[in-house]
Structure 1
Amino acid sequence: MLRFLLLYLSIYPLAHYYALRKIGLAFQPGKKTTRGIALFMAIMIAAPIMVRVAERAGIETGARFWAYASFSWMGLLFLFLTFSVAIDTARFAVQSMEKILNQRLFHSTLSPRRIFAIQAMLVVAIYGYGIFEAKDIRLQRIEIASPKITQIPGKIRIAQISDVHLGLIVREDRLSRILARIQEAQPDILVSTGDLLDGQLNHLGAEAALLAAIRPPLGKFAITGNHEFYAGLQDALDFTEKSGFTLLHDQAVVAGGITFVGVDDPTVTLFDKKPAKPEGDLLSAQPRENFTILLKHRPDLNPASLGLFDLQLSGHTHKGQIFPFNLLTWFLYPHTAGRLTRLTSGFLYPSPGTGTWGPPIRFLAPPEVTIIDLVPVK
């Protein structure tokens, strides 16, 4: 968390300074107005930190207000900066070419104020759409045929949710939408591949009851993501169990002839100094005749595990959540979220996530409940 805080305090104030400069160029406000804008921005920089402090102190009403305010502002600011950087990059490229060619290539009649106004209107429009996209939970269907799936019992249907981030912003209403999509698919098994929770627990009894009411015939399994540790591991474990999930803590379980192997997120090493059982050892101990699914929060591949599982289900990246953040997540995790990747032996499917973290929007990264049908080879 300290590393994340230092990164946040290094980058986020610079983003605000850049935006303040853009406002200054567009409107040339007086000193008093500039100070007022700077004060507002300083509050918005501090607010996400204060939200976490308020959470820990149990001041939920204030924490929820500031979470909505500060994270909504964060989303608006990011969209504005995306447009600004794109425009400034294009302007720099044109000016560089003009110097090289020693001639005028492009002449704009738009004033900085008009450009700013156009950007602001686009940002508000995209943000409004992003709220809709975040609530539009989709069903993504995948079918995998394997000789390890026998004619009896036949097709096994698994529903995957990931990165729901229940907490101050994602609450009962959003969860109800997610669960309605799960019930529509009528899965045999439900799995959560981490970050079911966000930060500190905030009176989520109703959400636990909603989750507990979903009872697939072959069971529900979950693993830890990084946010389960931020929420407080014991509280997160209690919530997950109240929700009816069996938490796989570097463990394996067999359901419907399918072996599920769940591993903890690497964040566990910050809280538990005991060395985790190597992933490859855990997988190699499982019966090879069973179709084996590795539940692993981050969509990275361990070379020692290749060939020991038939399908890895992951999450974590949110597919960037807000374009063009997907370019950054693709750089860090090159296996594209929302796409089934065939490996030399087996498959990898990184979920683009089901909820939101931070800004309560998604843009060009729709949330999904993934439905995986395992069927016999015909």
Structure 2
Amino acid sequence: MKIAVVVLGALAALGVLGAAHWYIWRRMVRDVSRPGGRYRRIGTALAIALPVCMLLAAVGGRAFPLAVERWFAWPGYLWMAVSIYLLFALLAGEAVRPLLRRLRRAPATATAAVPAAESVTVPPSLSPSPSPSPSSSPSPLAPAGPAARPDADAARRLFVSRVVAGGAAAVAVGVVGNGMYGVLRGPRLKQVTVPLAKLPRAAHGYRIAVVSDIHLGPILGTAHTRRIVDTINAAQPDLITVVGDLVDGTVPELGPAARPLADLRAKDGAYFVTGNHEYFSGAAPWVEFVRELGVHPLENDRVELPWFDLAGVNDIAGTAQGQGPDYDRALGDRDRARAAVLMAHQPVTVHDSVRHGVDLQLSGHTHGGQLWPGNYLAELANPTVAGLERYGDTQLYVTRGAGAWGPPVRVGAPSDITIVTLASLQA
């Protein structure tokens, strides 16, 4: 039964995807080109190849080695982003089409409104006899016949279609290009102050760097990791927390891309918890690899720092492999008079944190929606999509993440590394 539901869901998704791409092909290729022309042939070929690349990219990490995946990741993922905003722009263009048709028709209407020359009636007796000639032709001043109107209508439709298609393409490319630049230049620092009632006065101003969702893979690699490390080190935090979804691939494939993490520097060290994507490619090897880099994994565990307890739980995705979150193991026997900061990849676990007396939970996972209007969809599955919110006595901070899954593009949800400054109420 479960397999049947999955199959039906997949077929429905493919049907929607196919309908959307047919509409894009119709508006961007068929309606703006002549049958049999070069543009029509090239556009149709791309309308088939790009969605195929997109589907291959979406399943590539689980079906192909990284070296093969890179060949279709760039065109496939970029088309995924472009097609979203191209579809939105074309749908908005439907409202503009009637106005453009009226504007295009205005000159012809004005010409037709010019009054014809006054006619004079000539008596039959004075009218000359016509001299029939086989080569006679209508006067150039004679009005065009009905056959001329279809040609004018066709030219008008072609003009309107090209204007709408060109405008939609410019909007989509501009939005995606700006969003890609934001990802590839690297995340920016964000500052947040969080007051904790149990934090001692001596710890007032303690600074934690929170980085999540780096998503090293076929597009983001070593240079991306280096930018993140340099940004964190320049901020000189007291503690560094890497809150899951570091990679989209295996250690042999992506270990070199993650190696700059060995250069992270903080007074109280750097710590790591798993995200759901680690379990797609094998979490245990990554846990050992980051340990070798000097980043300390917290697998349902905690460490007592001078001013508070730092705990970490495995991601929910590990449950199917017997490696899910265990709050009792991580927090069960601690001294509740001390403040507790918990690293948990997914915000949805905040209700477990409330029950276990956690003061501050640090999470990622949502990407802030990554591609607008994805933030509205993220709100359906997460209690907090981005930023700081309170749940009972527990505060939850969700970073938008430092990388991007799939398209290396962010729209309306810029990437960030957050410096969380703890404030003592006793200060």
TM-score greater than 0.5 by the shorter chain = yes
Question: Can you list the C-alpha shifts for 1:171-208, whole angstroms capped at 9, x where unaligned?
Answer: 12122221121012111111111101123346434433
Please give the residue correspondences for 1:154-169 in structure 2 after superposition, counting only pairs within 5 Å: 154-169=204-219
Partner amino acid, structure 2, of 1:80: L
Q: 1:327 to 1:46 in 2, by over 3 A?
A: closer
**Residues 280 and 304, structure 1, Cα contact 8 Å, conserved in 2:** no
**Residues 321 and 363, structure 1, Cα contact 8 Å, conserved in 2:** yes
Partner amino acid, structure 2, of 1:36: A
Q: Does 1:39 align with 2:89?
A: no
What does residue 115 of structure 1 align with?
164
Partner amino acid, structure 1, of 2:260: L
Q: Distance in 2 between matches of 1:353 and 1:123?
A: 24
Partner amino acid, structure 2, of 1:126: V
**Residues 54 and 73, structure 2, Cα contact 8 Å, conserved in 1:** no
Question: Can you list the C-alpha shifts for 1:81-110, whole angstroms capped at 9, x where unaligned?
Answer: 23234445x57xx99xxxxxxxx9x95757
Q: 1:170 to 1:38 in 2, by over 3 A?
A: closer
What does residue 314 of structure 2 align with?
264
Q: Distance in 2 between matches of 1:126 and 1:27?
A: 23
TM-score, normalized by length of structure 2? 0.75
What does residue 345 of structure 1 align with?
393
Please give the residue correspondences for 1:41-80 in structure 2 after superposition, counting only pairs within 5 Å: 41-48=50-57, 51-52=60-61, 55-56=64-65, 60=67, 62-80=68-86
Identity %: 29
Please give the residue correspondences for 1:1-378 in structure 2 after superposition, counting only pairs within 5 Å: 6=10, 9=14, 11-24=16-29, 26-28=31-33, 30=35, 33=41, 35-48=44-57, 51-52=60-61, 55-56=64-65, 60=67, 62-88=68-94, 111-134=160-183, 135-201=185-251, 203-272=253-322, 277=326, 279=327, 282-306=330-354, 308-337=357-386, 339-377=387-425, 378=427
Deviation at 1:29, TM superposition (A): 5.4
Q: Distance in 2 between matches of 1:347 and 1:212?
A: 30
Q: Distance in 2 between matches of 1:261 and 1:376?
A: 19
Deviation at 1:22, TM superposition (A): 2.6
Of residues 298-307 and 66-75 in structure 1, the stretch that sits farther from structure 2 once superposed is 298-307
TM-score, normalized by length of structure 1? 0.84
What does residue 126 of structure 2 align with?
none
Deviation at 1:213, TM superposition (A): 1.3
Q: Distance in 2 between matches of 1:225 and 1:22?
A: 41
Q: Distance in 1 between matches of 2:251 and 2:410?
A: 23
**Residues 208 and 242, structure 1, Cα contact 8 Å, conserved in 2:** no
**Residues 54 and 72, structure 2, Cα contact 8 Å, conserved in 1:** no
Q: 1:51 to 1:147 in 2, by over 3 A?
A: closer
**Residues 203 and 423, structure 2, Cα contact 8 Å, conserved in 1:** no
* Unpaired stretches in structure 2, ≥5 consecutive residues: 105-158
Q: 1:275 to 1:153 in 2, by over 3 A?
A: closer
**Residues 165 and 198, structure 1, Cα contact 8 Å, conserved in 2:** yes
Deviation at 1:284, TM superposition (A): 4.3
SS at match of 2:49: helix
Of residues 128-137 and 216-225 in structure 1, the stretch that sits farther from structure 2 once superposed is 128-137
Q: 1:268 to 1:10 in 2, by over 3 A?
A: farther
Rg (Cα) greater in structure: 2
What does residue 98 of structure 1 align with?
none
Q: 1:125 to 1:145 in 2, by over 3 A?
A: same
Q: Distance in 2 between matches of 1:192 and 1:163?
A: 9
Question: Can you list the C-alpha shifts for 1:17-55, whole angstroms capped at 9, x where unaligned?
Answer: 332233355325537727524432453244315733664
Partner amino acid, structure 2, of 1:358: G
Aligned residues: 359
Partner amino acid, structure 2, of 1:44: C
Q: Give the RMSD, CA atoms, in angstroms.
A: 3.0
Q: Distance in 1 between matches of 2:329 and 2:397?
A: 22
SS at match of 2:199: coil
Deviation at 1:361, TM superposition (A): 1.4
* Unpaired stretches in structure 1, ≥5 consecutive residues: 96-103
Of residues 38-47 and 162-171 in structure 1, the stretch that sits farther from structure 2 once superposed is 38-47
Question: Can you list the C-alpha shifts for 1:213-256, whole angstroms capped at 9, x where unaligned?
Answer: 11312121111111001122233223322332222222222223
